[in-house]
């Protein structure tokens, strides 16, 4: 069981959460061209290692959270709010 330390609720098991999406993408401007939108919606890197992603605490406080998870080990090194930035590599400590 992955456990996620929600800044509101404390550490909870992942069954309370819903995976959202890749959090490294940037929302394009409304008038951005089709290419940009296409890339934003459909193109994903299949990262082997540290990955920023959104999780929804659906069965808790219902906050959307930004989570840094290692896709190889499932270790979660950082949890914040959607507009927080994780500390630089090396400084991370859960």
The CB-of-88 to other proteins minimum distance in angstroms stands at: 22
Per CB under 5 A, does 80 bind Zn ion?
A: no
Stretch touching other proteins by CB under 8 A, among 34-42, 45-53, 84-92: 34-42
Q: Is the dihedral of CA 63, 66, 70, 75 positive or negative?
A: negative
Per CB under 8 A, does 60 bind other proteins?
A: no
Question: Per-residue string for binding with Zn ion, 43-72, x by CB under 5 A?
Answer: --------------x--xx-----------
CA-to-CA dists, residue 4 to 33, 35, 90, angstroms: 37, 35, 20
Q: Answer yes or no: are the C-beta atoms of 24 and 69 closer than 8 Å.
A: no
**CA 86/CA 76 separation, integer angstroms:** 12
Binding residues for other proteins, rule: CB under 8 A, are 1-3, 13, 18, 20, 27-28, 30-32, 34, 37-38, 40-42, 54, 56, 58, 62-64, 73-74, 81-83
């Amino acid at each position: 069981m992955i456990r996620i330390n929600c800044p509101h609720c404390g550490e909870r098991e992942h069954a309370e959460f819903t995976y959202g999406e890749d959090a490294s993408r940037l929302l394009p401007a409304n008038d951005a061209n089709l290419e940009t939108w296409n890339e934003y919606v459909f193109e994903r890197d299949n990262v082997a290692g540290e990955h920023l992603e959104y999780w929804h605490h659906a069965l808790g406080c219902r906050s959307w959270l930004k989570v840094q998870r290692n896709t190889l080990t499932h270790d979660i090194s950082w949890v914040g709010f959607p507009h927080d930035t994780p500390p630089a590599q090396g400084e991370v400590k859960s």
